[in-house]
Chain A
Amino acid sequence: MGNRDTVHFSTAGLADIEAIRADFPILRREVYGKPLVYFDNAATTQKPQVVIDALTGYYQTMNANVHRGVHLLSQEATSAFEKAREKLALFVNARSVREMVFTRGCTESINLVAATWGQQNLRPGDEILISALEHHSNIVPWQMLCEHSGARLIVCPLHADGSLNMEEFARLLNTHTRLVAISHISNSLGTINPVKEITRMAHKTGAKVLIDGAQALAHLVVDVQDMDCDFYTFSAHKIYGPMGIGGLYGKEELLLEMPPYQGGGEMIANVTFEHTSYNEPPFKFEAGTPNVAGALAFGVAIDYIQKLGIQNIAKRENQLLDYATQVLKSIPGVVIIGNAEHKASVISFLIDETHPYDAGTIIDHFGIAVRTGTHCTQPLMDSLGITGTIRASFAFYNTFAEIDLLAKAINKAKEMFL
C-alpha cells in the first residue's frame, strides 16, 4: 500500500490549527510576497501531504493496470483500487460497493445519469425539476437531455434569502416529473437544501432524485440511505483529494437496469463481433483504464477527514462562517448575498456599487484568493439581478485572523473605488 498505510496525522481533532495547517504544504507559500490566504475552497480544496504522497507513492511502488493481470502488481493495484471504493461506499453509507461508480468527477457523474438513465426513461411531456441555484453542471446536462428526449426542464424558484421555495417546489412536482436534480449545498450562496424532505416529496409523486453533492461531502455527514436519494454525485478535489476523480452513488436496482455509459474495456462481460454483453455495476459504467492513483488518493483524503472528524470539521467551518458573517456585516456598504438559515461555509458578498472584479483584484493583492463572478451559476445571478459576487469559501484550515485580513482588504478596496 506504499505510503497509505504508513501515514500519520499530525494531530487528532482540530484543536491545534497550526499543526493541521502544516499538513497542507501549499499553505506555506506566498503570493505577491504575502502569505497565501486561501478562501476559494468551494472551487477546489487544498491537498494534505498524505494525499500528495498517495499519488506519487502509487506510481513509485504499485503502478499496474487494474482488474487485468494475474501478476502481483496488478493484484495489489486492483485490491487498493477496490479498497478505495469500499471506503467511499462506507463514507456515504451506500448499501454495497456495487452502488459506487468511479467517474472523473461530479460533472461526469451527472452526465452519466443523463446519458444512461435519462435517455432510457425520458419521453416527450416528461419533466425534470431543478432549482434556480444550480451549478451549470446540474443544468446543462439536463438541457441536453431535454433536447434529445422532448422532456421539459422546470425550475423551482428561491426565496429572497437564497433558500429554496418549498411551497413552489411542492406545486411544481407532479406526475410528469420524472427526475428531481438539486444540489445539496449551493456553491454560490452556501444554502443547504432540505434534501431528505425533497427526496421524500419527489418519491411520493414517483420521481427519481439526483442530489449534486459536490459542495456537501466535505462539510457535512452524507448518508445516502437516510436521504433515500436515487443518485448522489461528487468530486474528490472538493474534499481534499486529487482532481480528475469523483463518484456516482446510484441505487443498485437502478444501476442494474441502466444501459452502459461508454464502451470499451472493463465494462464488458463478453465481446464477439456479433454481440457484446456487459459487466455488472459498477464496472459496467467504468470503461477504460480508471484513474487508479486518483482513487487511492481519494481514499486517503477520506481517511484524513475522518481522522479529523466530519462533525468537528462542520463545527469549525460554522464558526468561521459565523465570524465572517459578523465581520462583513459590520463593514458599511457590504451586502451579503444569500442569507438562508442553513448555510455551509460559503459567503458571497458585494461591496457598495463596486464591480466584483475590481474588488477581487484588490483583495487578490493582499494574498487572498477569493472567487469573483457568477461561480458557474449564471441563471442564479440573473435571477438575483446581479452580474456576480465576490465569494469567500472556508475550509477547516482557515483561521479567524485570515478573515480579519479579508476585512482589511475590503476596507482598502472601498477606499480605492470610492
Chain B
Amino acid sequence: MKIEEKTQAIVNEFANFDDWMDKYNYLIELGKSLPLIEERHKTENNLIPGCQSRVWLHADFDGEIVHFTADSDAVITKGIANLLIRTFSDQRPQEILDSSANFLSEIGLTEHLSPTRSNGMLSMLKQIKMYALAFKAKQQMGQS
C-alpha cells in the first residue's frame, strides 16, 4: 500500500471519534498493540532526542525497503509511534523522503498533544527521514 493510502486510512479511522477520550482510548490500544522492538535494539543510539518520554526507533534495510520498529515507555507515545511506523515501514527510501506526515494534524494529534510531546513526534519523523536518506545513499552507492 502506498503511503498516501495508509495515511488516508488513518484519517478515516480517527474520523469516527467524536470526543477526545475515545481518540485517546484508541491511541492507547494502538500503543499496546505496537509490534515489539527487539530488546537489543533498545540502545542509547536508537533513543530519539526531544521526547520527554523515552522513544526508541530502529531501522532495517534489505536493499529495497526500510523496516521500522519502535518502542516507548509511555503508552500514548507508543500509540503515535505505531501510526508513524504503520505509515512509513516497508516503503522504499525515496517514497519515505517524498511523503509528509500532515495526517497527524488532520487527526488532531498535534493539536491535542503537549508541545514537548509533539516535538518528540517531529523528532521521530525527522529520524525516519534521516534513515531513509542514509539508505537511499547506500542504495545509490550499491548501484554505481
A residues with CB within 8 A of B: 32, 354-355, 357-358, 360-362, 364-365, 372-373, 387-388, 412, 416-417
Contact = CB atoms under 8 A, between A and B. Distances in A.
A104 B59 CA distance: 45
B127 to A, nearest CB: 19
Given A357-B77, A387-B73, A416 B24 contact: yes
B21 interface: yes
A373 B116 CA distance: 11
A361 B114 contact: yes
Contacts of B76: 357-358, 361
10 contacts: A354-B75, A355-B73, A357-B52, A358-B53, A358-B76, A365-B112, A387-B53, A387-B54, A387-B73, A416-B24
Interface in B69-118: 73-77, 112-114, 116-117
Contacts, number: 46
B12 interface: no
A204 B5 CA distance: 73
Contacts of B114: 357, 360-361, 364
Contacts of B117: 357, 361
A417 B32 CA distance: 10
B77 A362 contact: no
Given A355-B53, A355-B74, A372-B52, A365 B28 contact: no
Given A357-B74, A357-B76, A416-B21, 15 more contacts: A355-B73, A357-B52, A357-B53, A357-B77, A357-B117, A358-B28, A358-B75, A358-B77, A361-B76, A361-B114, A365-B20, A365-B21, A372-B52, A388-B52, A416-B24
Interface in B12-59: 20-21, 24-25, 28, 52-54
A354 B113 CA distance: 17
Interface residues of B, number: 18
Contacts of A355: 53, 73-75, 77
Contacts of A357: 52-53, 74, 76-77, 114, 117
A410 to B, nearest CB: 15
A287 B68 CA distance: 54
A373 B117 CA distance: 11
A364 B111 CA distance: 13
Q: Could you say which of A357, A364, A387, A417 has the most chain B C-beta atoms within 10 Å of its C-beta?
A: A357
A169 B7 CA distance: 58
A417 B53 CA distance: 16
Contacts of A416: 21, 24-25, 28
Contacts of B113: 361
A177 B73 CA distance: 41
Contacts of A358: 28, 53, 74-77
B43 to A, nearest CB: 17
A416 B52 CA distance: 21
Nearest to B77: A357
Given A355-B74, A417-B75, A361 B24 contact: yes
B28 A417 contact: yes
A301 B144 CA distance: 70
Contacts of A362: 24
Nearest to B19: A365
